[in-house]
Amino acid sequence: MKTNPTHRVVVTGMGAITPLGNSVPAFWDGMLAGRSGVRLATRYDIADFPYVIAAEVRDFEPREYMDAKAARRMARFAQFAVAAAGEALRDSGLDLERLDRSRVAVDIGTSLGGTANVEEQIQAFVAKGRKRVDAFYLPTFIYNMAACQVAIAYGLHGPTTAPVLACATGTYAIGEAARAVHRGDALVAICGGTDAGVTALNAMAFGVIGAIAPPGDDPSAAVRPFDARRQGTAGGEACGVLVIEQLEHAQARGARIYAELAGFGATEDAFHLTAPAPGGEYAALAISRAIEDAELRPEDVDHVSAHGTGTPLNDAAETAAIKRALGGHAYSVTVSGIKSMIGHTAGAAGALAVIGCVKSVETGMVPPTINYAQRDPECDLDYVPNVARQQDVRVAIANAFGFGGQNAVVLVRRFEG
């Protein structure tokens, strides 16, 4: 996204369904207060089960966002997307009746999709002697259905896509949507990530590779990004959605502009199925490319919303990547590990990080990394320990690094006309 004044991309609306609350204000206020959404899991039976913590969405009633018939035909991850997209559209003030809906793109990705539905249907299929399956099984669980259900719900006819990049999904979806708006494929895009994969099978799958933290005496303190005591993360569920549009389109309708999406970078480690490349070389390259795409310098970055999973290898590699990309300036930026509060929400994680960056630019506040108490020599940056901080943030970056070595970084900057 080079700074072409006819194709600059701005954020005009946001929506969120999260373990801290089911709106952007609830999500943001919860983070600034340092609240944890990590608790004992309730979406599966934890009796005699080794992995018992999760960051679940609470008090989500689909019929508050859609009619009962539509809700029955959606998996939970798609319900989240329709709900968050509705909030984002209302927040943007867009009048869809006056808009060419073929110029509105939808780019909402997922990492785990409807895996919860797959588990349920397999059990039912076997129990029924392999003679029957729910008629809506296929169009419920497949990964493009969150994006498609949003398009159907709001009558949108522009290009609709659903990237799958594991934990980097939401960030990549926003970056690619911004590129589509920048080059004129769409005037407006609804973009982000969603996931609802809190199941026993998924918990076991992440647990056996050492990614899930033990609950300890207090599950809310289990996830400790960048802390020397860190032992893993907690599986989570959430959705984050942005409305973005071409600057001149937003200005012509008198829209409130939160921030500018000014840069995007993506790379591939090509190293390992789950582990990051040591030293963070290609994660650093994604950061550098996002900065270059915005025609900025490393010294212009004020804040980083970190991937920060709370696993030993990932946090050390990300710290190395930030230092490699920003040089000595890395010690002057704030780095927030928001997964300490919301767990690892998979395909939604990067989208929520971008929303956090937009809010930091808007409000001059950066969220804390909670549960931080013991410094790790390998993780020696300013992680905003435990308490939110007031800070002038002109430029913020959101990092996301996924299984398979997929790296995506979005750069947000203050809109200055």
Catalytic center residues: 167, 307, 344
376 forms beta bridges with 379
Token pair 């934990």 in the structure block, residue? 167
- Name the token pair of 151: 């398009």
Contact 397, 407 (CB under 8 A): no
* SS3 state of residue 189: strand
How many CB atoms are closer than 10 A to CB 261? 31
**Sign of the C-alpha dihedral, residues 31, 299, 391, 394?**
negative
Radius of gyration of the CA atoms of the chain, in A? 20
Contact 264, 294 (CB under 8 A): no
User: Cα separation of 29 and 45, whole Å?
Assistant: 31
User: Cα separation of 238 and 76, whole Å?
Assistant: 10
- Name the token pair of 193: 């990530």
136 contact partners, CB below 8 Å, separation of at least 6? 72, 73
Parallel, antiparallel, or unpaired: how do β-strands 395-402 and 303-305 relate? parallel
How many CB atoms are closer than 10 A to CB 146? 34
- Name the token pair of 33: 């207060």
Contact 233, 167 (CB under 8 A): no
Give me the torsion for CA of 311, 313, 319, 325, rounded to 10°.
-130
* Phi–psi pair at 309, nearest 5 degrees: -75, -20
